[in-house]
Structure formats: C-alpha cells, structure tokens
Amino acid sequence: MLSDATILDISSWDGTISPSEFIAAAHAFAEKWKLRCRGLPIWSWICCRKTPFISSHEVDGYLSLEKLCILRSDKMEDHGIDDAGKEGLNCSENEECTDSAVLVHESCLEVHYYDLHVVYSSSYRVPVIYFRGYRSDGQPLVMDDIEKDIPANSAKVLMESKWTFMTEQEHPYLKWPWYTLHPCGTNEFMRLLFLIDVSLLEDRVAAEQYLTSWLSVVGQVAGLKVPLQMVDSTPPLTTS
Amino acid sequence: MERGTEAQKYVWEGAIPLQIHLHESEVTTLPPPPPVMILAPRIGYLPLLAPQIKPLFSSALPPGADTVWFDYKGLPLKWYIPTGALFDLLCAEPERPWNLTVHFRGYPANILIPCEGEEAVKWSFINSLKEAAYIINGNCKNIMNMSQSDQVELWRSVLNGSLDVFLRVSSKLKLGALEDEYAAKLNPSLKKSKSCVGNIENSGLNKTGRVPVRLYIRIVSEDFDDLENAPEVDSWEKVSYINRPIEIPKGEGKYLSLGDAMKTLMPEYFGNKSLDCEEGVDQEVEEIAYPEDARGKNNAEEEVASTAAGEHPALGCQARNNEVKLVRVHGIEPKLEIPFSWVVNNLLNPDYFLHLCVCVKSSPSG
C-alpha cells in the first residue's frame, strides 16, 4: 500500500522527487525486486547515518546492487552478431557455476562484474547512478571496456541523448572515483517520460515507478536490464 | 559595469604561500632541486600551478609521462577542491608557507579522479557551476547555453583572478544574489548604492531561495585546546564533504544568520543552545558589527589572525558529546550571528558555491 508521500502529482510536476519520496521509493523498489526478480542480485539499502551532516529529514543512505555479472564475448562482437546474444545475460554470482562451464568450453567469454549504486542528489533532487566494473580477478574496467559492454542499441540511445554522458566522479559517500551519468538532465527527461505515459497513470504516479523507469534507462550503462516483471502492475505469483 | 564588493575583492585576491617540494622518489639529480615558493590563489585549483612549477623540476624528473598531483604530509590532495578550502580544512592552525609535495608520476587513480591538465579542471569547475545554477534557478539552461566565448572568458577570469571580468560575464548567467534587507535596514542609503548589495540589480534576485553550499567537515575524536595541537588529517576517511543546498525562509522578518544556516546543515552540532535567539532582530543587526569585522580579517596576504576573528562564545556549546571547534570560510572565522545573506553575497567561490569548512569534535561515547 502506498502512502500519499510516495505518490507524485504529474500535472504540476518538474520531474524531481523529494528526499522522502526517494527513500520510500528505494525501499519499495528493493522489496519488489526481491520478490519478482529471483536469480538476480538483490538491491540493498546502505545506511550512512553516522555522517555528521545527516539530519532526520535527509536521505541517510543509498541503494546498492553488487556483483552483477555480464558475459561478454569479443568474438561475437568482432563478427558483428546482433546484440540479442549479449543481452539478457544478467545473473547473480550464485549462477556463476553454470557460466564458468561455458567459459571453459568456449574460452571466448569473459565475465565482467558491475556494482551499481543509486544515490540521491540533494542539488538536483533526482536519483543518480554511480557504478564501477571489474574483471573476475578484481582488476577495474576502464571507460573503453565499459562502453564495449553496453549493448549497441542501448549505447546508441544513451550516447545520442545529450542528457546522459559518462564521467568519472567521486562517489558522494565512498569518496573514491566511480563512473556516473550526469544528473543535470534527469528531471526534464523524467517529466517528458511521464507526460507521454500520463493516460496510463491517471495523473498520479508512484515514486517507486519513477525509480523503475529511470533505472531501466540509465541502468543499461552498467549492464543492468530491468526485468519486465518490475513494470508489470499485476501482483507477483507467489510460488514457493 | 559590475563592481564587486570590497569583501569579494579580498576573496579574489586571497592567496596562500606554498613551498613545494619534489617527492624524493622522483628526484634523479644531485643535489636535489630546491623547493619552489609560489603564491596559490585561494579560489584556484592546485593542478593549475603545474605550468609554473614543472619547468623548475623537469630536469630532475625520471623519464616518463607526467601527471601532476600533490600531497600534504602523505595525504593526496583532491584537486577539485579549491586550494583555499583545502588549506582551511587541513591546516587548523595555518602553516605558512604551506609545505606541499608535488608528484609527476604514480597518479593515485584509486583515490583521485583523473586530471589531464587544465581542461579537466575547467570541466570540473563548469560542472560545479552547473550544479550551483540548478540549485539557484531550478535548471542549468543558462550554463548550457553559454556562448563559447563567454565560457572561455569566464574560465580565464578564474585563472587570472580578474573579478571585474568575472562579474561582467557571470551577470549573464542570472545567478542572482540574495536580498540583503538587513544591510538596507542598517543604512537605508545603501539600498540605492551598489556597494553592499553586490550585483543584485542587474542579475535579479535568487528565485528559488536555495543557496549552494559545499560543506567540509573534519571530525576529531580527541579534544585539543589549541589549534596547533589539532591532530593531522592522515586519511580522507576523517573528512566528510557534501553539496547541500540551504533553503532561505521566505517572508517578512525572517532573519537567517550564519549560525541558523549551520543549524539546518548540522542540527546535531549547532543545536538551539548554540545561538542566543532570544534577542530581537534589531539588536542582532546592531551586533553584527557589520562586515567590518569579517572583512578586516580577510587580508589578501593571508594574514588571518587565528585568534581575534571570533571568540565564538556560541561554539563552546555542546550538543551531547558533539562540539564545534571551528567554522572557516576563506580563512575567516566569521561570527555565527552575521546575516547568512551577507556571507552568500560576498564570500562565494567563482563556482557560486559557498565552501564552508567546519571542524567538530565527536566523542565515540555518544
């Protein structure tokens, strides 16, 4: 059940969300993900309450999904095989055993891991994605590697729109360099997105849905494919 | 023609005398090169000094590609923090000259974001300006739409420390100042002159009532009586910093002091007790000892007295086991009673952020 605090009013909306909306959305999103996206790594809320500037009305943490693995094949890419082969390969570490069998046989597949954090920006009043990639031996991926991991279709969309560009910035909580997409166009993008969809949403949209839609676009840059179950409004099947 | 306030001029002329040593691992000559003395502008960034420093060390360097970075007592310095803020943050007791070590090899890419020369610094500055514009106006269109020549001119004004050029170009960005009604109250004639209200007239007032603040917080666990005895910062773990807008309350008679603003940022430290709010506004305005006090301390030659600036009767106050030891902006330790609008209109960095350094003591027993 959503409280009023997590419902956005579309008609006079500038595409931003408040700290409390973000917190509520993040928790609802993580919960839904856990129920509907079995087999994928889970999102957890990392609490940073010990920092001295955190007061009760501010966001006291961020969402984190770690060790998302992407299989990439240089050969497939070289031969120009379409992206279908590369997409849908998100899996959690638990499933890695099956994949490593593939590695042994074909030896052209390499596993890349990604850590994704969703941090609230109080300047821009929108969520911001921070991520890093690394190989199985822990060696970090550089910008070129990351760009190659993005499915070509997504890369085109991401690189063409001027509101997303990848830079290396300091992670606001961890203070190390992480990759990020600049948030200055996020509110405008989200406003347009929900204006188009307004008929479906009856003028009000849950902040959790905001997070899902946003992440389905920006998550691609770190290899995240938001499963369709996340957008489906019917209740999940409760299979054991 | 835009004219800066007197305080703004001091801010722009502020500089820190540096004594820069080449790291011993990069010295290949005997005798080693002598340290370099240089004045570093407070509003500048360390890598911008490279063109002046490098020729003096280049003959001693081993072969290889150069990527410049600095450390202070082993702590790699974050180049995207303005030099003045680094100094205020890391030297509780100002050290003059400030002894830094320069490196041209072995860039610590796990700690510092990459810096490939002036261009990287420029983009970091523009990004910061963009963020400030977003906070002030609710969008950053004015920055995105800035003409190429304005962009170049604005950046050059920061490089060269030319306030007049900066004010002329930045006035087009419409990043308005705050209404300083207390200045007007104090002396009605000021309302007409520009001397105290800065560039309000041409750029319009701040519309959202949000002010971009970048807060740097040093946390110490042991107490110290004298700033000289403050423990060194040996890791960035001991420092927190964050960009956090401050909302200016709207409406008549709402007086916001620097202390009130700090309270919204760090309620645990600047609790109710830390400011005596019982006095009426008029009396507070009288007590401000208006800019004179703060301005006198902000000497371009960095002769900021660490004593007289503020006795901080308020700072001794404790909230639980937390205690504020120091609040510093551009080397000044301003009184917490001064109007926040004055601080904002006079002490901003060229990226339109107010860079505030705070040192707090936090006992683990809390």
CATH number at residue A112: 3.30.1460.50
Give the residue from B134, B145, B208 with the most A CB atoms within 10 Å of its CB, the best one to mutate. B134
Q: Band of the pLDDT at B252, cuts 50, 70, 90?
A: low
Instruction: Please tell me the distance from the alpha carbon of residue A225 to that of residue A234, in angstroms, as a whole number.
Output: 20
| Alpha-carbon distances, residue B36 vs A11, B29, B78, B102, B104 (angstroms) | 61, 16, 20, 10, 15
* Residue A236 within a domain: no
Average pLDDT, chain B: 81
Between these two residues, A201 and A134, which has the higher pLDDT value? A134
In chain A, the percentage of residues whose pLDDT exceeds 90 is 31
User: Chain A closest CA to B249's CA: distance in Å?
Assistant: 17
Range of the domain at A94: 4-228
- Whether the CA torsion B61, B62, B63, B65 is positive or negative: it is negative
Q: Band of the pLDDT at B275, cuts 50, 70, 90?
A: very low
Contact assignment for A123 to B242 by CB distance below 8 Å: no
Nearest chain B residue (CA) to A162: B144
- Whether the CA torsion B209, B214, B219, B223 is positive or negative: it is negative
pLDDT of the residue at A1: 42
ipTM here: 0.80
The answer for B 99-118 residues in CB contact with A (under 8 A) is 109-114
Global pTM value:
0.82
* Residue A235 within a domain: no
Contacts of B134 in chain A (CB under 8 A): 123-124, 184
* Residue A112 within a domain: yes
Of the candidates B68, B71, B42, which has an alpha carbon nearest to the alpha carbon of residue B57? B68
Contacts of B264 in chain A (CB under 8 A): 55
Number of folded domains that form chain A: 1
pLDDT of the residue at A101: 41
The answer, for B327 touching chain A at a CB cutoff of 8 Å, is: no
Q: Which of A32-41, A79-88, A189-198, B31-40 has the highest mean pLDDT?
A: B31-40
Contact assignment for A14 to B138 by CB distance below 8 Å: yes
Q: Band of the pLDDT at A235, cuts 50, 70, 90?
A: low
Quick count: other Cβ atoms within 10 Å of Cβ B31?
A: 7
- Positions of A annotated as catalytic residues are 184
* Residue A239 within a domain: no
pLDDT of the residue at A159: 65
Per-residue pLDDT, averaged over A136-141, amounts to 92
User: Chain A closest CA to B2's CA: distance in Å?
Assistant: 28
Task: Tell me the count of A-B CB pairs closer than 8 A.
Answer: 58
Q: How far is CA B189 from the centre of its chain?
A: 30
* Residue A176 within a domain: yes
Contacts of B362 in chain A (CB under 8 A): 52
Contact assignment for A123 to B130 by CB distance below 8 Å: no
Contact assignment for A170 to B78 by CB distance below 8 Å: yes
The answer for B 257-286 residues in CB contact with A (under 8 A) is 264-269
Contact assignment for B113 to A170 by CB distance below 8 Å: yes
* Residue A213 within a domain: yes
The answer, for A57 touching chain B at a CB cutoff of 8 Å, is: no
Token pair recorded at residue B47 = 């890598």
Pick from A52, A172, A184: CB nearest B266: A52
Is residue A162 within a helix (H) or strand (E), and if so which, with residue range? Answer: none
